[in-house]
Amino acid sequence: MRAGEQDLRAGLRALQLELGDGQVGQLLDYQDLIGKWTKVYNLTAVRDPVEMLTHHLLDSLAAVLPLRRHLQKAGLGQGARLLDVGSGAGLPGVVIAICCPEVAVTCVDTVAKKAAFIRQAALALKLPNLSGLHARVETIATPFEVICSRAFASLADFSNWSVDALAPQGAWMALKGKHPADEIAALPAGTEVFHVEQLQVPRLDAERCIVWMRKKTAP
């Protein structure tokens, strides 16, 4: 068994997330890839493999079942498009691409080397549903059914900057720490929160939640 595999599988069981052996292998390969690139390009501040498993992989994996539930509820099966904003090393975008092969994931970052890393990860991990884009999110007008971010910006900035990329019936999925009541109160009039979902990340003693938002429809 590979280093970290036992802990990863235990985390998946705790999250009630069933993945194939190939997907587990891809997650471990992805973590190794982050480690290699970080030595040269400083992709992430977290360098310890044990910490990386908890703070990166399991933290992102905790969002997979909520995303699947949302897509199912919205009637979005094959071909749903997800945009991961300010993706950095591809968290949670690459993890979602591994776990949800039916979802087309685009990771966008303003830093060229981070977008290049995503493209390299897509090749190395053989993920045809993953692409990396070097751009400002404000310039994207292609519609996405889900736009997600993790520790990227305030909810108001996140929704404002990416509003042109959200499909008419699309949703924002913001991964946050503590319940961001102040940020929710500061949202623009055209944006509404329809669900705040508490997450329990295995091995991580910290609060996590997903703030689900959408464009407010006219009464």
pLDDT recorded at residue 50: 67
pLDDT recorded at residue 101: 96
* Torsional class of 184: left (φ above 0), alpha (ψ -120 to 50), beta (otherwise): alpha
pLDDT recorded at residue 126: 98
pLDDT recorded at residue 215: 96
Beta-carbon-side half-sphere exposure of residue 191 (alpha carbons within 13 Å): 24
Domains defined for the chain, CATH in brackets? 63-215 (3.40.50.150)
212 in helix, strand or coil?
strand
pLDDT recorded at residue 52: 73
pLDDT recorded at residue 81: 98
pLDDT recorded at residue 203: 85
Q: Which helix (H) or strand (E) holds 8?
A: helix 5-14
Per-residue pLDDT of the chain in tens (219 residues, 90 and over written 9): 888 899 999 999 999 999 999 999 999 999 999 988 877 776 665 666 666 777 789 999 999 999 999 999 999 877 899 999 998 899 999 999 999 999 999 999 999 999 999 999 999 999 999 999 999 999 999 999 999 999 889 999 999 999 999 999 999 999 999 999 999 999 999 999 999 999 999 988 889 999 999 999 866
pLDDT recorded at residue 47: 64
Other Cβ atoms closer than 10 A to 146: 24
